Structure 1
Amino acid sequence: MKKFGFLSFGHYNHAYPVQRSLHDAIELAHIADSLGINGAYFRVHHFAPQGAAPIPLLSAIAARTSHIEVGTGVIDMRYENPLYLAEELAALSYIADGRLAIGISRGSPEPALKGWEAFGYHAADSEDSKGAGLAREKFLTFLSAIRGTPMAQAAPADQQYPRIYAPGRPIPVLPQAPDLDRTIWWGAATHASAEQAARDGVNLMSSTLVFETDGPSLGEVQARQIERYRAEWDRAGWGHEPRVSVSRSVFPIVSDADTAMFGKPGSGGSESRSMLDDQQGIFGRTLVDTPDKIVEALRNDPAVMSADTLMLTIPNQAGVEVNARILDNFATHVAPELGWEPANR
């Protein structure tokens, strides 16, 4: 593990309103930036009291910070206009000076039944009830757009305003940001989707849960997923090294205040398996322990050791002070033992 950041689900409610959720996220990212923490990442959900439109938030954070990368985990491609997303992320890349880690996927189960149809998007295949084919088609269009493939033709000269292209000339979406595709991650919940991400030439963001049962633990399953991803990456012949991230829920206990907030050391529980989206998924356990025990547990987690980036899921509704303490505790007492490279050095 060389990098770590926080992953916020962006929850809000009547007691913790959306305005506070957003402003707290900006403030926490600013504090994390000063600590050298590498990333500020945010979940994206629609028709739910969570963050749904990440680009304004990421832009605000990028403008206020200098080192931390900003990203998502993940944008649900079923709800997106791929060309507009390409324009937004190119602009965000310039605001952030390239400090992006944008996770994209088909998306997780949502509260709304086929909610993407309310956004105006319909799967061509009537059997595509979960929108997987729709998301795949949009993702490929998006990748082509950010890689500079022309997406339209110039209009006749008398119809252009301003007149900047020769009539009929193929034109890409603008702006184009250098190496934007290298900041894109695919959120994979299966081995097959991880291998496809490698063939597509994007980074791997192993999901907070996985739908494979070929291992005794989440870490073992994700390690196999990562191994298969990297093997497929090598076969594809891409000319650069990809990045890989996993997420964990970790609460280092270094004071009585930590115990009062998160529980006694060793009280975090165990992994679980349950049905979600008509499939059995493996969910990771929460680590609540002393720093030495957390270091030991993470060193024994093959996925954490194989990935280059660890995302710590945080209880955003606990507020800035509590979450800043979680990050500071991890940065001070845990991360250095795992080979952490602070962003501000």
Structure 2
Amino acid sequence: MPPIPRPLRKLGFLTIGLFDEADPRRGHESTLELIELGERLGFDSAWLRHRHLQYGISSPVAVLAAASQRTRRIDLGIAVTPLGWENPLRLAEDLATVDVLSGGRLNPGVSAGPPMHYDRVKDALYPGTADAEDLGYGRLERLLDAVRGKPVTDFSGAEGFEVYSDRVQPYSPGLGGRMWYGGGSLRSARWAGEHGMNLLTSNVVRAEDPDGPWDFAEIQLSHIRAFRAHHPDGEAARVSQGLVVLPTDSATPGQRARYAEYAARRAARTTSPQGPARLLFAPDLVGTSAEIAERLHAHAAFREVDEVAFALPFTFAHEDYVQILTDMATKLGPALGRRPAA
């Protein structure tokens, strides 16, 4: 008999904030409305994902600054910022500013490594210096040090009428403990644990064993256990899982058919590793909340987490997201043992 899964403690959702190039405001406003809805429904967190040079939110920090002024309780997360696009010191200033504005609700997720299609964008990002940029864990350590209040300069004090600090301002003391690493490999899970971060897992992992068998849940479970084995907090270290989950309790027949077709189109990538990076994807979960809860309770990795940020599909309509979020909060969350947020 497998161990009883942990009751779900924190329920969140993730969106990329799709928009029409001809009317980007409407798409961004839709995203803000979903975050407001999430707070009304009692979600614990709402997360945005970066989409650079695409028709999705390219600046989650800016959008979450707006969301911080339209909500009061819900945590606001980023899953994740690829640091290859960012200057760590400047990003630390932005994150701390939004954390202060939100009253300490920001949960920034980050990842290391070269950005996607780096060869195509590096000359625009770093003209003349692209090949000299540190895109690995060193860049992430610079961000962590800045967010956690370590000095970034050897100068402080007064210079005429100006007063300077040797650390990033504003300094938000709790933010350092709310930094998340988006990891899909054993190496990244260990690194995040060793550096006292939280771990964001998603619907994709790296299938590092070339011979298989390739079981998504077991691979993800190995990452979670490696992370906690290397984290100062051990079994209490925070892990959030982000599968694509589509409850259909209140869906119309047309919505049910579209959701099933969406999942079927993406199913092939779940059977074997994809591409040179050997990425393995989790199946999308479509069905009633009772059916989804049963599948999650049998999921080896889900059984060891008590936080989720379920991912919304990229291309659905606003009314679809409203239905999905409503069913997540009112049907799926309780089926997973979660008590609504106060």
- Report the CA distance shift for 1:117/1:288 in structure 2 as closer, same or farther (over 3 A): same
Moved over 6 A (4+): 264-267
The answer for the alignment partner of 2:5 in structure 1 is none
Assess if the C-alpha contact under 8 Å between 2:297 and 2:303 holds in 1. Answer: yes
The answer for the alignment partner of 1:164 in structure 2 is 163
Distance 2:173 2:156 in 1: 27
The answer for the alignment partner of 2:50 in structure 1 is 44
Matched letter for residue 217 of structure 1 = D
Give the CA deviation at 1:114.
Answer: 5.0
Counterpart of 1:172 in 2: which secondary structure?
A: coil
How far does the alpha carbon of each residue in 1:123-159 deviate from its partner, in whole angstroms, 9 at most, with x for none? Answer: 566xxxxx7x4242221111111121111133796xx
- Report the CA distance shift for 1:112/1:230 in structure 2 as closer, same or farther (over 3 A): closer
Matched letter for residue 218 of structure 1 = F
TM-score norm. by structure 2 comes to 0.86
- Report the CA distance shift for 1:318/1:107 in structure 2 as closer, same or farther (over 3 A): farther
Distance 2:160 2:130 in 1: 34
The answer for the alignment partner of 1:273 in structure 2 is 272
The answer for the alignment partner of 2:338 in structure 1 is 340
Q: Give aligned pairs, total.
A: 326
**RMSD over aligned Cα atoms:** 2.6
- Report the CA distance shift for 1:116/1:339 in structure 2 as closer, same or farther (over 3 A): farther
The answer for the alignment partner of 1:227 in structure 2 is 225
- Report the CA distance shift for 1:207/1:294 in structure 2 as closer, same or farther (over 3 A): closer
Counterpart of 1:55 in 2: which secondary structure?
A: helix
The answer for the alignment partner of 1:147 in structure 2 is 148
How far does the alpha carbon of each residue in 1:204-262 deviate from its partner, in whole angstroms, 9 at most, with x for none? Answer: 011431112556422221111001110111xxx359943111111111122461x3113
Give the CA deviation at 1:32.
Answer: 0.7
Matched letter for residue 224 of structure 2 = I
Identity of matched residues, %:
29
Are 2:190 and 1:195 equivalent residues in the alignment? yes
Counterpart of 1:64 in 2: which secondary structure?
A: coil
The answer for the alignment partner of 2:18 in structure 1 is 11
- Report the CA distance shift for 1:163/1:291 in structure 2 as closer, same or farther (over 3 A): closer
TM-score norm. by structure 1 comes to 0.86
Assess if the C-alpha contact under 8 Å between 2:19 and 2:28 holds in 1. Answer: no
Assess if the C-alpha contact under 8 Å between 1:6 and 1:41 holds in 2. Answer: yes
Residue pairs, 1:93-132, within 5 angstroms: 93-106=99-112, 110-111=116-117, 113=119, 115-120=121-126, 122=129
The answer for the alignment partner of 1:79 in structure 2 is 85
For residue 251 of structure 1, the aligned residue among 246, 250, 257 is 246
Distance 1:6 1:36 in 2: 11
- Report the CA distance shift for 1:63/1:162 in structure 2 as closer, same or farther (over 3 A): same
Give the CA deviation at 1:50.
Answer: 1.9
147-156 vs 69-78, which moves further: 147-156
Counterpart of 2:274 in 1: which secondary structure?
A: strand
Assess if the C-alpha contact under 8 Å between 1:2 and 1:338 holds in 2. Answer: no
Assess if the C-alpha contact under 8 Å between 1:252 and 1:330 holds in 2. Answer: yes
Q: Which runs of 5+ in 1 are unaligned?
A: 126-130
